Amino acid sequence: MTGSLQSHGWRRCATVKSPVVLCSSKTAAEMTDIQRELGLDGLPLIAENGAVIQPDVRWEDTSRSLSGMAHQDIAQCLARIRASRQYKFTTFDDVDVQTIGEWTGLTRLRATLACKHEASRDLNLARQRRTDGAI
């Protein structure tokens, strides 16, 4: 998303009243902040790689849509996998905002917003080395 916004071609769409719909792996909280920064407040957005769809705030009788599993359900599933398969991995839920900022280069505010997953989960996977030689 960031590279697309750097070209500023999206501004032409806004000037001719064509809606600019941001789409990214970022959380809806991050995207709402980016919309505010760009003057695109309230327009539709697609977050978390399509798992969260937020309609235009001016549309009546619509609400945010989550496809697939909710963040907490994913967390529970990953906890079972972690325990049963003995995988070692780290998620944003396992670390503090400062660590997320160090990993990603995000500001403290953006790192905080990056934690607000609704229907996905960031995962850093490194499989535990087994002592019996099996892979």
Is 135 domain-assigned?
no
For strands 87-91 and 22-23, give the pairing.
unpaired
- pTM for this structure? 0.80
CATH assignment of the domain containing 100 = 3.30.980.20
pLDDT at 44 over 60: yes
Name which of 60, 35, 37, 38 is nearest 46 in CA terms. 35
Q: What pLDDT score does 2 carry?
A: 54
Over residues 61-85, the mean pLDDT reads: 91
CA 106 to CA 32: how far, in whole Å?
Answer: 16
In a shared domain, residues 41 and 80: no
In a shared domain, residues 40 and 78: no
Over residues 22-42, the mean pLDDT reads: 94
Is 26 domain-assigned?
yes
Where b means 16+ CB within 10 Å and e means fewer, 10-46 reads beeeeeeeeebebebebbbbbbbbbbeeeebeebbbb
CATH assignment of the domain containing 51 = 3.40.50.1000
Residues of the chain above pLDDT 90, percent: 59
User: Using the 8-state DSSP alphabet, how is residue 129 labeled?
Assistant: P
Domain limits for position 122: 71-127
pLDDT at 128 over 70: no
In a shared domain, residues 57 and 7: yes
In a shared domain, residues 59 and 75: no
Structure tokens at 85: 């398969």
